[in-house]
Amino acid sequence: MAQDDDEEEPALPSGLGDQDDDEPPVPAGLGETTSDEPVVVESAGRSLPFELRGFADIRGGMRVRSDPDLERPTLGEARLQLEVERSWTPLSLTARVAGDLLFDPVVGDYELHLETGSGAVDLREANVVASPLEALDVKVGRQILTWGTGDLVFINDLFPKDWTAFLVGRDIEYLKAPSDAVKLSGFHELVNLDFAYTPVFDADRFPDRRRLSSWDPTQGRIAGADDQVPTVRPDRWFRDSEWAVRAHRRLGLFELAAYGYWGFWKSPAGADPGSGSATFPALSVYGASIRAPLGRGIANVEAGYCDSRDDRTGDDPLVRNDEVRALVGYERELRPNVTLGAQYYVEWMLDYEGYRAGIPAGSPTADEVRHVLTTRLTWLSRSQTVMSSLFVFVSPSDGDAYLIPQVTYQVDDHWRLQAGANVFLGREDHTFFGQFENNTNVYAAARYAW
């Protein structure tokens, strides 16, 4: 297999000559040794004293079946996001603001509600990060917070989520709703500690009946826009606060963590008998997780105990019971650019007898143990410019499923196209995924980012 080397011998690259090596090095940009000018890394905000990024996103979606309670479009919006970030290195401080201007004729509510994010402006981030001590980071303000090891399964991540955005096909980043909080992170060889204090309860943005119909337990049927749930939210500053703690460290290949949360159920989990409003009863969660490589993949185990503090014995039918949640997951690459992940998740309701005793006659009963299997299949193709993915939730115990296929095509460095669907299947109307069956939708989006 001898090759004709002389033809292929490379000319010396500029900068390597057979001049003596003890000549002083040629400074970049001088002399003919470098034919290219030194590269100056340009970014969009280079001419400004801070970094500016953003995108314009337009997306639309509709339900595939007609729904007696709601209109056909599930999603129709034009969004402009602007993000500004500035760092002051000597102070080790970074400030960041990101906000969205949203034109959303489907819901058509433009009144500003910065806390819930509804309306024409959705302030995603407004925070400052600093390191007042060498081993301490402090982040104050509106921020996205995430921890835990699950993939779309949240046991110890009690930070607010936007379920509506997730279920109708907004970009995945919108699943996480911002928290208005102070986060302290301390780092030490023995253990690292995170402490997130939210002075006023940040609830989940739960499925909005103006867009998605869902099970109404008081009426015993699926309900839509005409039956929006009034909620009573704990909203007293400092009295209705949330504390979330994580202790974590790496031990060899293992990532270990222990978690604590004191606050409230994030989505309505109770009812006020007088007004019929949905409430957010008190909740504490204690949990732990381990994540480590296993074979050619990554395995994770996570568990949590949900202590529904307002109903410890389980016999208050208006308050959700205590619960244990556990998860086992594994992800590995099947072949280059193809990754498969799977999880098995259980929710085990405690004090089940108390729950059974309190259920009104004729109302559907939840199982004591709810089993959920998930899989995620991701495939990168065409030089990694096309990402096809399918995430599936299946609950054999509830008899329902939620499938999320999606294709994303990065057209060039600015334009991105996306199309996908949210498919809900269920034997019953009252189960977690089955209740959304009428909302099965397809959507498409185009985004220009800089």
Within 142-181, the residues that bind another protein by CB under 8 A are 143-147, 172-173, 175-176
Pairing status of strand 242-251 against strand 192-198: antiparallel
Assess 375 for contact with another protein (CB under 8 A): no
Distance, CA of 348 to CA of 172 (rounded, Å): 28
Closest distance to another protein from the beta carbon of 439 (Å): 24
Assess 381 for contact with another protein (CB under 8 A): no
Question: Which segment (21-29, 111-119, 301-309, 436-444) binds another protein by CB under 8 A?
Answer: 21-29
Instruction: Please provide residue 174's backbone torsions phi and psi, each rounded to the nearest 5 degrees.
Output: -80, -5
Residues 187-216 touching another protein, rule: CB under 8 A, are 187, 192
Distance, CA of 158 to CA of 188 (rounded, Å): 25
Instruction: Report helix, strand or coil for 409.
Output: strand
Question: Which segment (13-21, 103-111, 371-379, 399-407) binds another protein by CB under 8 A?
Answer: 13-21
Question: Which segment (232-240, 295-303, 363-371, 432-440) binds another protein by CB under 8 A?
Answer: 295-303
Distance, CA of 141 to CA of 97 (rounded, Å): 10
Assess 20 for contact with another protein (CB under 8 A): yes
Residues 50-89 touching another protein, rule: CB under 8 A, are 51, 53, 55, 87, 89
- Give the CA count within 13 Å in the CB-facing half-sphere of 106: 26
Assess 32 for contact with another protein (CB under 8 A): no
Closest distance to another protein from the beta carbon of 128 (Å): 12
CB-wise, 365 or 385, nearer to another protein? 385
Residues 306-365 touching another protein, rule: CB under 8 A, are 331-333, 335-337, 339
Strand ranges inside 46-176, DSSP E: 51-63, 73-88, 93-103, 121-133, 136-143
Contact 252, 266 (CB under 8 A): no
Question: Which segment (29-37, 162-170, 282-290, 312-320) binds another protein by CB under 8 A?
Answer: 29-37
Question: Which segment (11-19, 72-80, 221-229, 316-324) binds another protein by CB under 8 A?
Answer: 11-19
Q: In degrees to the nearest 10, what's the CA dihedral of 211, 212, 215, 221?
A: 70
Strand ranges inside 367-433, DSSP E: 369-381, 386-395, 400-410, 415-426
CB-wise, 291 or 325, nearer to another protein? 291
Residues 82-121 touching another protein, rule: CB under 8 A, are 87, 89, 92, 94
Length of the chain: 450
Residues 235-264 touching another protein, rule: CB under 8 A, are 248, 250, 253, 255
- Give the CA count within 13 Å in the CB-facing half-sphere of 410: 12
Closest distance to another protein from the beta carbon of 125 (Å): 9
Closest distance to another protein from the beta carbon of 266 (Å): 17
Which among 148, 179, 327 has a CA at the least distance from the CA of 263?
179
CB-wise, 21 or 111, nearer to another protein? 21
Residue 260 CA: distances (Å) to CA of 74, 199, 205, 328: 36, 16, 22, 19
CB-wise, 71 or 255, nearer to another protein? 255
Q: Which two tokens mark 303?
A: 């568990």
Contact 101, 113 (CB under 8 A): no
CB-wise, 249 or 356, nearer to another protein? 249
Number of residues that bind another protein (CB under 8 A): 75
Closest distance to another protein from the beta carbon of 123 (Å): 14
DSSP 284-323: EEEEEEEEEEETTEEEEEEEEEEE-TT-TTS--TTBPPPE
CB-wise, 66 or 384, nearer to another protein? 384
Contact 391, 376 (CB under 8 A): yes
For 189, residues 6+ apart whose C-beta sits below 8 A from its C-beta are none
Instruction: Report helix, strand or coil for 365.
Output: coil
Assess 185 for contact with another protein (CB under 8 A): yes
List the x/- string, 418-437, binding to another protein by CB under 8 A.
Answer: --------------------
Assess 4 for contact with another protein (CB under 8 A): no
Closest distance to another protein from the beta carbon of 220 (Å): 37
Assess 1 for contact with another protein (CB under 8 A): yes
CB-wise, 53 or 309, nearer to another protein? 53
Closest distance to another protein from the beta carbon of 365 (Å): 35
Among 129, 212, 223, 283, binds another protein (CB under 8 A): 129
Closest distance to another protein from the beta carbon of 1 (Å): 5
61: left (phi over 0), alpha (psi -120 to 50) or beta: beta
Contact 398, 367 (CB under 8 A): yes
